[in-house]
Structure 1
């Protein structure tokens, strides 16, 4: 008789787990998370009985409880890795742009100096008339 009772209890716990996983429990609230206490209450047994007699179902309960958290954590980790990769790319781009800016500033300074030198030479040669344009 004891063996038959264990089978019935094991089955009731398993069915309680299934009902909670599917979101259609009979006793507990459907918003309640998967836990040993929720399964025990749904199955009408004690938490100690689940811990003592059903280690296989206990693992299923714990796995189901952490499944959503694991998925959420993995998604966040993937997102974080993507952001880190993008950050590295942007930092490299910023370094390249700073290098280009320094080069352009150097060329601009050189052209300004050449322009000033040509203006001085032009001022000495007075046979050319400059036209003033108004903007």
Structure 2
């Protein structure tokens, strides 16, 4: 199959996209963002021609427009996933600490009951005297 020669307008659009991406456009200002209008102006063609005859380049232009937004969105999503993971870890730690607290409270209640029982037994039995050693 013989290779088809690229139309001059297609080549102009492609080169205009490359120049804008690299930040070295000839006609439009360097601060201008990638858009169909900017590419059309840089290439010297109409916006309609890009829409009609260059659908593959149209996708590239739209991708360039949303590149910064997409990168920010991906960064936020990564950060959100990190926070979700940290949240899961902290929730499991809280559950472990609650279980430990319940166990310690149970042991404390048992010791208080034993202490009260021994105190009442000591009060009833006056034959027992308590010595304090220094």
Q: Give TM class, smaller chain.
A: 0.7 to 0.9
User: Normalization by structure 1: what TM-score?
Assistant: 0.77
TM-score (norm 2): 0.77
Do structure 1's residue 81 and structure 2's residue 81 form an aligned pair? yes
1:123 aligns with 2:127: no
What is the aligned-residue RMSD (CA, Å)?
A: 2.4
User: Where does residue 106 of structure 1 map in the other structure?
Assistant: 106
Counterparts of residues 28-39 of structure 1 (less than 5 Å) = 28-39=28-39
CA shift for structure 1 position 47: 0.8
Match of 1:52 in 2: 52
Moved more, 96-105 or 81-90: 81-90
Structure 2 partner of 1:61? 61
User: SS at 2:14's partner residue?
Assistant: helix
Deviation of the 1:17 alpha carbon: 0.7
1:92 aligned residue: 92
Gaps of 5+ in 2: none
Q: CA deviation at 1:86?
A: 2.0
Q: How many residues align?
A: 127
Distance 2:42 2:80 in 1: 38
Deviations 1:76-129 (A, max 9, x none): 223222222221221121111111111111111111121122222333445524
Query: How far apart, CA to CA, are the structure 1 residues paired with 2:115 and 2:29?
Result: 82
